[in-house]
Amino acid sequence: MNGRSLGVLAVACMAQLLVVLDISVVNVALPHIASALDIADRDVQWVASGYTVAFAAALLTGARAADSWGIRRVFLFGTSLFIAASVAGGVAPTGSMLVAARVGQGLAAAIVSPATFTLLTVTYPEGPIRTRAVAVWTAISVAGGGVGNIVGGALTEYLTWRSVLLINLPIGLVVLTAALRYLPTHRREAQSPRTSLDPIGAVSGAALLGASTVAVTAFGAAGSRPLSLSMTLVASAGLIGFLIRQHRSTAPLIPLRLFADRTVVAGNLLTLLTGAVFQIPIWLFLTYQMQQLLQRSPLQAAVGFLPLTTALVVIGVAVTPRLMRRYPPHLVAAAGAAVAAVGLLALAVASDSSSYLVAVALPSILIGTGGGLLNTPLATAVTSGVARRDAGAASGLMNTCKQFGGAIGLAVLTATAGLTNFRLAYCAMATAMALTAGCCVAFLRERRTGY
């Protein structure tokens, strides 16, 4: 890698960390936010959900925007919008204004996140160099939930909950400065073929994804069944409109040619299944376990994520790319899913223990090891062989599967296990990982491009 390509990787990873960190960064601060802004318990969840719903709803549109208007332009716009929304949330005087700002953050994140991955696929050719870059990006993406809890716990305990959002201002400015220096110019981007952005497809796709996310999020909440039902109807209408538009449009959000590749399809379905464990649920259930069962403070609980976060990053960056050069990627992914399943079963068995080492730390190392082995091969599978003109769409599809999988996983787990039946929740996650391991062997064919 030369200096410019390393700069692109740094920009992509910093921006992606900023985006995924804000998914979980408010979790620990929610009780303080509810008290400070006088938000009812039944409504405070939307401070967190407003971000994830908007993120999921706009991902496909945000990803296709990079193909239509250029990565640099879209990235700079999305990052600027994210910073502005973060500041608005940090100074919000009311709960409704805070939720609106979180929705704005989510919309901006849907623009930035797929652009970060697209940067990697258009900067690095397929092979070992791209694999290493994707490994770093993936490790940061997956570990962001843990980092968000740690940062949120520390800032809330030592400063104020507002600093959880306002800290995005200095970090975002650093990202913008680096992006202006390292991202390809419009002249270089103009060498690539452009596609138009279909507004009707964008609206129907956003209705489908946004309403679906609200529906599954509200399904397990007390008194929210009418909302879940109405959003299901909206999502159904969005699905019909989206499919019709995909068939008729000359510039569909998801080019149908992507679905001609079995590996792309299988990789995205497995990404959805993996997201149902790693994207939101594992972080939230461990948070409740450490604070309620082990009686740890918010900051202590945040620090308690270090074994999981460290294992995810170290294995994902230092080990997985080397294994992918020696063994078929689908077998590396299957091994990772199997190890994660063992770690989740260990969590289930030890969930009643009062010892942090036994109940959380040791199983978390196994889960982090498995996640570190699993996610890079999946991310590589869904983008290998994809034409440059479809790089944004492929990235958006992967991110959509990941975010939507997290929402589905959390909704199903909270509806069946609540937030305190840790054993049932961890057993369900272990089952999902075991299924992932089997499907990796059965459906992810080996790429011959070299790793």
Q: What is the pLDDT of residues 162-195, one digit of tens each?
A: 998 999 999 999 999 999 988 877 544 444 455 5
- Judged against a pLDDT cut of 70, whether residue 222 lies above it is answered with no
CA–CA separation, 85 vs 76, rounded Å? 14
From the list 24, 242, 4, the residue with the least C-alpha distance to 143 is 24
Cβ contacts of 227 within 8 Å, gap of 6 or more: 214, 215, 218
Longest dimension (CA), the chain: 60
Tell me the torsion sign for CA atoms 307, 308, 312, 315: positive
Average pLDDT score over residue span 351-380: 91
> Over the Cα atoms of the chain, what is R_g?
20
- DSSP letter (8 states) at residue 256: G
Q: What is the pLDDT of residues 241-300, one digit of tens each?
A: 888 887 777 767 777 777 777 888 888 899 999 988 987 788 878 887 887 788 887 778
- DSSP letter (8 states) at residue 420: T
What is the per-residue pLDDT for 187?
44
Q: How many CB atoms lie within 10 A of CB 448?
A: 7
Burial class (CB in 10 A: 0-12, 13-18, 19+), 12: buried
- Judged against a pLDDT cut of 80, whether residue 10 lies above it is answered with yes
Question: Is 0.95 topped by the overall pTM?
Answer: no
Tokens linked to 287: 């948070």
Task: Tell me how far CA of residue 183 lies from CA of 5, 19, 86, in angstroms.
Answer: 9, 18, 23
What is the per-residue pLDDT for 244?
85
- DSSP letter (8 states) at residue 192: S
Residue with tokens 């502005």: 84
Tokens linked to 324: 């992918």
- For the stretch 179-213, what's the b/e string if a residue is b when 16 or more beta carbons lie within 10 angstroms of its beta carbon? beebbbeeeebeeeeebeebeebbebbbbbbbbbb
Q: What is the pLDDT of residues 235-247, one digit of tens each?
A: 898 889 888 887 7
Residue with tokens 């296709």: 64
Which three-class secondary structure state does DSSP give residue 448? coil
Average pLDDT score over residue span 89-105: 93
- Judged against a pLDDT cut of 70, whether residue 450 lies above it is answered with no
From the list 165, 183, 169, 197, the residue with the least C-alpha distance to 76 is 183
CA–CA separation, 57 vs 50, rounded Å? 11
Average pLDDT score over residue span 149-162: 83
- Judged against a pLDDT cut of 80, whether residue 395 lies above it is answered with no
Long-range contacts of 266-269 (CB under 8 A, 24+ apart): 266/381, 266/439, 266/443, 266/444, 267/378, 267/381, 267/382, 267/398, 267/444, 268/382, 268/397, 268/398, 268/401, 269/401, 269/439
Q: What is the pLDDT of residues 20-35, one digit of tens each?
A: 888 777 877 777 888 8
Report the mean per-residue pLDDT for the chain. 83
- Judged against a pLDDT cut of 50, whether residue 324 lies above it is answered with yes
Q: What percent of the chain has pLDDT over 90?
A: 29
- CA 81 vs. chain centroid, Å, equals 19
From the list 374, 346, 357, 368, the residue with the least C-alpha distance to 134 is 374
Q: Read out DSSP for 238-282?
A: HHHHHHHHHHH-SS-SS-GGGGG-HHHHHHHHHHHHHHHHHTTHH
- Judged against a pLDDT cut of 80, whether residue 448 lies above it is answered with no
CA–CA separation, 214 vs 411, rounded Å? 10
Q: Are 280 and 23 in contact (CB under 8 A)?
A: yes
- Judged against a pLDDT cut of 70, whether residue 418 lies above it is answered with yes
What is the per-residue pLDDT for 370?
96
From the list 146, 149, 103, 78, the residue with the least C-alpha distance to 298 is 149
CA–CA separation, 276 vs 432, rounded Å? 8
